[in-house]
Amino acid sequence: MLLSKQKKSQNNKGNRLLITVNVLGSTGPLRFVVKEGELVAAVIDMALKSYAREGRLPVLGSNLNDFLLYCPTSGSDALSSLEAIGTHGVRNFLLCKKPQSEIAKNAETEGTTIARRGHGRWKSWINKTLSLKIASH
């Protein structure tokens, strides 16, 4: 009996929370259990993995640096990625993609550029197809 009490106390070193993360533009929230001291960056990563695993739309991607997590009590400021998820005492959060200007700014500071893959080919194919049909009349 004493041994089982010791095991239970070792497993309860951190409080666990059932949190709800609403993803902007998606249907229905994500719900999962995290430790109270878990970092916001880790929670964003878990949310993105859970979102992808469930096959939800729209496809978000997996780069956690492109997303912000908001708390209803913190006003319009996003949570810092280095703070603990349990510091605000709430369990509902909103996950949003950063504005494209911020993503581009972050990419430039890292020395990379954002390239639109496939976008130009798609447009050029449509333009060629339409110009052929118009010219044949």
Instruction: Tell me whether residue 119 is in a domain.
Output: no
Instruction: Tell me whether residue 73 is in a domain.
Output: yes
Q: Specify the pTM.
A: 0.67
Instruction: Tell me whether residue 133 is in a domain.
Output: no
Instruction: Tell me whether residue 37 is in a domain.
Output: yes
24, 95 Cβ separation under 8 angstroms: yes
The highest-confidence range among 66-70, 71-75, 122-126, by mean pLDDT, is 66-70
Computed over every residue of the chain, the mean pLDDT equals 80
Q: How many CB atoms lie within 10 A of CB 120?
A: 10
42 or 12: whose pLDDT is higher?
42
Q: Which of 14, 3, 31, 1 is nearest to 84 (CA)?
A: 14
**CATH number reported for the structural domain that contains residue 16 in this entry:** 3.10.20.90
42, 86 Cβ separation under 8 angstroms: no
Overall average pLDDT of the 62-69 stretch? 93
44, 82 Cβ separation under 8 angstroms: no
Instruction: Tell me whether residue 80 is in a domain.
Output: yes
Apex CA 73: angle with CA 69 and CA 78, to 5°? Answer: 30
Domain hosting 38: range is 2-114
Instruction: Tell me whether residue 121 is in a domain.
Output: no
pLDDT score recorded for residue 131: 65
Instruction: Tell me whether residue 60 is in a domain.
Output: yes
Based on the structure, what is the number of domains in the chain?
1
Instruction: Tell me whether residue 18 is in a domain.
Output: yes
